[in-house]
Structures are given as structure tokens and as C-alpha cells.
Amino acid sequence: MTKALVLLLPSVLLTASVDGRTQDVTFSSRVEAVRVDVLVTRNGRPVPALGPADFEIRDNDVPQQIDLVSVERIPLNLVLALDMSDSVAGNRLDQLRAAGRTILAGLRPEDKAAVVTFSHEVRLGTVLTHDLTLARSALERVSGAGSTSLIDGTYAGIQLGESDAGRALLIIFSDGLDTASWLSAEKVLDAVKRSDVVAYSVAVRSPAKPDFLRDVTSLTGGRLFEVETTDNLEAVFGGILQEYRQRYLVSYTPRGVVREGWHKLDVRVRSGGIVKARPGYQS
């Protein structure tokens, strides 16, 4: 069966053969500086006012000199990657639109937003833009129909997040498992390992386990939310943005480690606390 991939993104090659056999994907190389998005909590609350001296980072077990710690005011690139398969229709679609409008309302003038949807096709609603009316219009135009290209849609969201400067937050919503992607989970997870995007996923609970979304969120240092229904989706989306605003962006230039290959990261706070960050990166 022919599967269309309706998505135009700069600096990425997405070519699908008509019979779905082609899986050649070009990924970009990592730059020298490493950025790590870090959430620090103590007694369930985010820990404020931390600086470079408060953090310890080991890259492949080698202590690193932290160059910069920033929080909150760095412009945000928000990407919404939304399931638009035929099971997302009626009331569920209305609730998803409302959740999207809520999180867009929480953005600041310096932030940008993009919308990508996936069913049997991946469609670009809007590229990253300061004009949030374009993102809102993209939400209003969507409708639920077809099967689910969750893996392809996630890859598109990652690439959108990487397409401009700033911190990138990807929110993936899906109410089912992948049934139509031409990219493999392994290929996309490899791209995730090379990305600075932080992914939060919201999955409607079902007998099938959302293993792919769990892997994506774990590798990026984000979180997976499993919800029973979409009745409270606005609060979930709003809570994700609020939590992300309280994360630290820690930057360092790797020293004493071989550049190529998988780099295991160990991020700690000297004063103690629960640290949530990506487990490593691929160079």
C-alpha cells in the first residue's frame, strides 16, 4: 500500500518508497558543546536558584567543567506532535484542541511554536514561528482519520525541534500504537540520542504498553504521562509547560573523552535532590 509522507523540513531527508522498503535517513552530527536539560526536585518540588558550582557532570565517567547554567528565560521552541488517526475524533479531538490552545496561551513573546500531525500521513501544520495564530489555526484545521504513524510523527517532531536555535520541548500525544510508520523505531531512537530536544509524551492508557514513547522520553530526559481519558488533557499539557520552565540548561565542552560513540552522562547536584536528565548522547 502506498503511504504518503506529507512533510517538508529543511536539513533532513525523508524519502519513502511507494512499497515502504526504503529506510535511508540522514542524521546530523553533534556539535562540540553539549547541552543537558536537567530537572532538579527535592521533596517533590523543583529546586530554584542553582548555578554551575551546584552541578556535577561526568561524561563517560570523566568529570567535566561546566561552562554555563541557565534557566527559564531562554526562548522556547515548542513542538506539538499530535495523533490524528481515526480514533481521535469527536469529543477527544475537541479536548486535544483545547489542550493545544492552553499550552500555546502559556508561551511568551520570545517563544516559538510548531505543529505536526500524524495519521497514515505526517503533515506539517506550521514550522516554528513566533506567530501563534498560525499554530492555533493549524490546530483548528486538523481532523481525525486513518491509521497511526507514531514513529514517523515523532521523528518529524524531533527534526522540527532541532530546526532553530533555542531550547526545544516536544509534546507527543497518541491514543494508540504505531500501525503505519515506514521508519523503524531503532532508526528514530538513534536520532533521539543525537538530539537536544526534550520530549514529553501523553498516551491514552490501553492494554498495549507505550514502549516506544517510554524510550523516547527516557532518552531525552522527559516524562511519559499515561492517562485514562482525555478529559483532563488541558491540565496535563499545562503542567508539562510549567515543569519545563523550571528545568536548568547545563552546558559544557567535553574534555578527556573520545568524541565518537555513545557517551554516558551522570548528572548530580552537590546539595542533593532528585535529578532528571537524559542518560547520555550519541556523537
Q: How does pLDDT run along the chain (283 residues), one tens digit per residue? A: 334 444 444 333 333 322 333 344 433 444 478 999 999 999 999 999 999 999 999 999 999 999 989 876 789 999 999 999 998 989 999 999 999 999 999 999 999 999 999 999 999 999 999 999 999 999 999 888 899 999 999 999 999 999 998 899 999 999 888 999 999 999 999 999 999 999 999 999 988 899 999 999 999 999 999 999 999 999 999 999 999 999 999 999 999 999 999 999 999 999 999 999 999 999 8
Q: For the whole model, what pTM was predicted?
A: 0.89
Q: Which class would CATH give 76-245?
A: alpha beta
- Confidence at residue 72, expressed as pLDDT on a 0 to 100 scale: 65
CB 15 within 8 A of CB 24: yes
Q: Based on the number of CB atoms within 10 Å of its own CB, is 247 exposed (0-12), middle (13-18) or buried (19 or more)?
A: buried
Give the pLDDT confidence score for residue 89 in this predicted structure.
Answer: 87
Residue 255: the pLDDT is 95
Give pLDDT, residue 32: 79
Cβ atoms < 10 Å from Cβ of 169: 27
179: left (phi over 0), alpha (psi -120 to 50) or beta: alpha
